[in-house]
Amino acid sequence: MAADRRAAGVLNAARAGTAVVAAAAVCVGVGGFDLGAVNVVLPHLAATFQVTPAAVQWVSIAYLLPIAALALPTGRWLDTIGRRPAMLLLVAGFTVCSVVAALAPMFGALIAARVAQGAFGAGLFAICPALAYESVPPERRVRTVAIVSTFGAAGGIAGPPIGALVTELAGWPWVFLVNVPILGATMVVFALALRPGAPLTVPGIGFLSESLLLGGGAAAVLLALTFAARDVRWLLLAVAAIPLAATWRRAHPDSPVLTLGRAPGFRRAASALALLAASTLSVQYLLAFLAQRSLGLSATVTGGALLFVSVAAVAGSLLAARLTARWRQARISAAGFLLFACGVVASLTVGRGAAALLLGLVAVVLGFGQGLANTPATAIGLSYSTPESMGSTGAAISFLRNVGFTAGPAVVTLIWAADDYTESGLRIALGAVAVVAAVGSLVVVRSAPVQPAATG
């Protein structure tokens, strides 16, 4: 009888872990869907609230800035509370903000709702991959990272077309509301499958100071990179991040992020993920202009061809999980980076003949390389965490990815702008992306995961 009870307990634990992985993956997918879907409805929002295209971009910026600015202090705070109260708070907060955004009576209220949604998202997107990672046995962790990455990519794929369809059929508010029942279901899963752990606590003065210092530094860098293409003098704003970062380092010498940063393997894996994020968003941005301005393709055909980047990334992630049984994770990731770089170089050879087909094939190579590179590198980074610092580890990776997502397009735009936005300048910028991806391969190949026994 005792053996039967122990077996039942293992089974229940296994089922609970699977449920948590599924719910965490869905939350990551919702994040990808939200950003893609909202970008599609920006013209409708501009018309509804009668604001300029420049102003309406803040619907996206207001969401992304707190995700980057609050990721590290939020991750540290999450390490001090139980997983169940943390997830219920984050998912509930994100859901409520979605409803408030949908019902916003004026543009200012919509921006405020998006800022608050990004604040909850900072914790949600940092903790979900780490939560899924720690919820399964060591031998299943790379596969789990692949599943979460797949849902994130699937959300990004579904966002634009579903957002456009929902807007046409029901109006833009439903783009924010469509996720509400899905997030509600994940709350039920988290409530049933997670242990209570430590109760919620109000963040202390350390959280506030860390948020102000890191948030101010991150905002300075991201805003500088975002607006530098319009006026290069904006780059001077990034200088403000230096004293803020130095002050944070002196005020928080015991930060788990600093401890992680002293591990060469983590530094390399996390840096590689930042380079991959920068490369991925940059190449999609540049290829959209190359296809429409130089190759004569329509926006619809271009979008359809580039959609294969996300589709192939799903396949690459799943293959990477299978290959880890035979190859070192760092080598799989490095091969993915090199494949991605080859895809970028191949894009430079696409001409007007069969342009749509060739661009689609290039997109498949890019996406497959992205998936191969991302899953093992993420697993390596998470392997350096302990159960007590899982939130901080996920937050550090999330922060660096967001920096890459913002910095990549900004830097390649500066390269392109230096040649007065000519086609040759665009191709030089694409060449720079290929170099960045190749550097990512060199960085990640020297990383190595911590053995499962060291991670608990």
- CA 68, chain centre distance (Å): 10
Q: Is the pLDDT of residue 351 over 80?
A: no
Instruction: Choose the weakest-confidence range: 109-113, 150-154, 237-241, 338-342.
Output: 150-154
- Across the chain, what does the average pLDDT equal? 84
Distance (Å, whole) CA 183 – CA 26? 8
**3 Cβ contact partners less than 8 Å away, ≥ 6 residues apart:** none
Q: What per-residue confidence (pLDDT) applies to 13?
A: 65
pLDDT tens for residues 355-409?
Answer: 888 888 998 999 999 999 999 999 899 888 877 777 888 888 888 887 888 788 8
Residues 419/286, Cβ–Cβ less than 8 Å:
no
Q: What mean pLDDT comes out for the span 180-196?
A: 92
Residues 166/174, Cβ–Cβ less than 8 Å:
yes
Q: Is the pLDDT of residue 104 over 90?
A: yes
Tokens representing residue 315 in the block: 């396949």
Instruction: Choose the weakest-confidence range: 197-211, 273-287, 343-357.
Output: 197-211
Tell whether pTM > 0.75: yes
Distance (Å, whole) CA 47 – CA 330? 48
Domains of the chain by start residue, with CATH: 1-203 (1.20.1250.20), 255-451 (1.20.1250.20)
CA-wise closest residue to 37 among 184, 165, 126: 165
Task: Estimate the crossing angle of helix 58-78 against helix 2-40, to 10 degrees.
Answer: 160
Higher pLDDT, 434 or 1: 434
Query: Could you give the maximum distance between any two Cα atoms of the chain, in Å?
Result: 77
**452 Cβ contact partners less than 8 Å away, ≥ 6 residues apart:** 138, 139, 141, 383
Instruction: Choose the weakest-confidence range: 114-118, 267-271, 304-308, 356-360.
Output: 304-308
pLDDT tens for residues 7-18?
Answer: 334 446 668 888
- CA 298, chain centre distance (Å): 28
Q: What per-residue confidence (pLDDT) applies to 159?
A: 79
- 33 — phi, psi (to 5°)? -65, -45
CA angle 311–437–296, rounded 5-degree value = 60
Question: What distance, in Å, lies between the first and last C-alpha atoms of the chain?
Answer: 29
